[in-house]
Amino acid sequence: MSHLVIVGGSDAGISAALRSRELDSSTQVTLIVEDAFPNYSICGLPFYLSGEVPDYHQLAHRTHAEITDAGIDLLLEHTAQAIDPSEHQVTVVDGAKQLHQLSYDRLVLATGARSRRPHIEGLDLPGVFLLHSMEDSFQIQHYLTSHPVRSVLIVGGGYIGLEMADALTLRGLAVTLVEHGKSVLKTVDPSLGALVRSELERHGVVVHTGIGVQQIVPDEAELCVSGTGAYGARTDLVVVAVGVEPRTELAQALGIELGTQGAMRVSRTMATSIPDIFAAGDCVETWHRVTARSTYLPLGTTAHKQGRIAGENAVGSERLFAGTLGTQVVKVFDLVIARTGLDDQEAYVAGFDPLTVSETYWDHKMYYPGAQSVQIRLTGDRTTGRLLGAQMAGAVQTEVAKRIYTGTRKVDRSMR
């Protein structure tokens, strides 16, 4: 009986575990999870912090029982400390600091990402939080319920920053959002970013762009935030969400080759540069279908698909990861913004000769009751006429999400 050891219990790790057992039930699968929350949706944290998901257990895609019933050995609150690839051994530390040696035949590294820590003084102060893990959200939740918090300043106008601005406004806080770039949501073009900004402001969020936050200093019960351009603000809470970076300490110690933005380099079979070690998810490079190159694009849907491929190949298959289109959808209050493929700048960098056009469309026939407009930007290649990417923005009712992405999720037995 061969033994598959998987490090990491989020989307990629769980997918790898389930897929390997599905294909080969003779394989012993051990999943090492550093916290007590395997297969939780970290994408759902803003909805927990808004109060819309009252019980954090609802964020679990599966229960412990469902995972172990699939024949997976779950080692919760265990940390993989070292890996010896020549001996095929993993050194694991349990919650009581005891060391254990696990032998593996194949290994999947699904160590994920962590919040990027920007160069801001005061990041470790009480009331200042990064947001990536379940534990982060518990700390924020605890702080919010144990302190008289009325205002929050969010550093970063990307997906998480925007979702948190929405969530904490819904929770009744006065929200300020500070973004270093010239517009919010830099993953879409500035004209769509401007729509997002209007939507934030329409809901009372104060938005500052072009400001680099430099320092957070406590002053009585408040926090003083200062930044470039003589920026200054006082707030009760600071949430820093300026992106993520791959967690690759284990991989680096092993000598696994790294690539773009420090993510592990993997083949399209999700194999690393070390034999018998696969990797998947937010810790690895991602094959992009449009550029036919690797990039770093940490997304839950991608992690899930890569994990499946890693799990499948770890039990002897030779499947290739089909690659990502970088499809992303975010809702900010009543506005939905979606993108897929490349934008103009990305297309240019990838060596295309891009042309991007913008147009306003109706979501229904114009006479249709409640018809609303949708902004669409399309990027194509002048040389070949090939469609390279699309961006859209529209009210929730305009079904923008499903104009870009048609996926659905199966309702399983327990109908959670």
Stretch that binds a copy of itself, among 65-73, 122-130, 205-213, 353-361 (CB under 8 A): 353-361
Site for a copy of itself in 138-177 (CB under 8 A): none
Does 355 participate in binding a copy of itself (rule CB under 8 A)?
A: no
C-alpha triplet 76, 81, 83: angle, nearest 5°: 115
Does 365 participate in binding a copy of itself (rule CB under 8 A)?
A: yes
Site for a copy of itself in 53-112 (CB under 8 A): 53, 58-59, 61
Shortest distance, position 335 Cβ to a copy of itself, whole Å: 15
Q: What is the total count of residues that contact a copy of itself (CB under 8 A)?
A: 34
Does 359 participate in binding a copy of itself (rule CB under 8 A)?
A: yes
Does 393 participate in binding a copy of itself (rule CB under 8 A)?
A: no
Cα gap 282→251, rounded to integer Å? 13
Shortest distance, position 404 Cβ to a copy of itself, whole Å: 8
In terms of DSSP bridges, do strands 222-227 and 174-179 run parallel, antiparallel, or are they unpaired?
A: unpaired
Q: For residue 44, what are the CA distances in angstroms to 48, 50, 84, 145, 279?
A: 7, 10, 35, 19, 24
State which of residues 8, 363, 388, 389 lies at the interface with a copy of itself (CB under 8 A).
Answer: 363
Does 374 participate in binding a copy of itself (rule CB under 8 A)?
A: yes
Neighbouring C-alpha atoms within 13 Å toward the C-beta of 86? 1
State which of residues 25, 52, 125, 249 lies at the interface with a copy of itself (CB under 8 A).
Answer: 52
Q: Are 321 and 305 in contact (CB under 8 A)?
A: yes
- List CB contacts of 147: < 8 A, sequence separation 6 or more: 127, 236, 237
Distance of CA 131 to the CA centre of its chain: 11
Does 367 participate in binding a copy of itself (rule CB under 8 A)?
A: yes
Residue 341, SS3 per DSSP: strand
Catalytic residue among 22, 28, 36, 43: 43
For residue 68, give both structure tokens: 């172990």
Site for a copy of itself in 11-50 (CB under 8 A): 41, 43-44, 47
Cα gap 387→13, rounded to integer Å? 34
- List CB contacts of 289: < 8 A, sequence separation 6 or more: 322, 323, 324, 325
Q: Of 54 and 148, which CB lies nearer to a copy of itself in the complex structure?
A: 54
State which of residues 146, 148, 230, 410 lies at the interface with a copy of itself (CB under 8 A).
Answer: 410
Q: Of 276 and 399, which CB lies nearer to a copy of itself in the complex structure?
A: 399
Residue 224 annotated to the active site: no
Shortest distance, position 216 Cβ to a copy of itself, whole Å: 31
Rg (the chain; Cα; Å): 22
Cα gap 361→61, rounded to integer Å? 36
Stretch that binds a copy of itself, among 81-89, 121-129, 246-254, 357-365 (CB under 8 A): 357-365
Does 360 participate in binding a copy of itself (rule CB under 8 A)?
A: yes
Strands (E), 259-372: 277-279, 286-288, 293-295, 328-332, 335-341, 354-362
Cα gap 242→8, rounded to integer Å? 23
Q: Of 348 and 361, which CB lies nearer to a copy of itself in the complex structure?
A: 361
Q: Are 360 and 406 in contact (CB under 8 A)?
A: no
Strands (E), 136-211: 151-155, 174-179, 206-209
Q: Of 179 and 363, which CB lies nearer to a copy of itself in the complex structure?
A: 363
Shortest distance, position 91 Cβ to a copy of itself, whole Å: 35
Shortest distance, position 370 Cβ to a copy of itself, whole Å: 9
- List CB contacts of 116: < 8 A, sequence separation 6 or more: 242, 243, 244, 245
Does 402 participate in binding a copy of itself (rule CB under 8 A)?
A: yes
Does 387 participate in binding a copy of itself (rule CB under 8 A)?
A: no
Does 401 participate in binding a copy of itself (rule CB under 8 A)?
A: yes
* Residues tagged active-site: 43
Which spans of this chain sit near a copy of itself (rule: CB under 8 A)? 41, 43-44, 47, 52-53, 58-59, 61, 359-369, 373-374, 376, 399, 401-403, 406, 408-411, 415-416
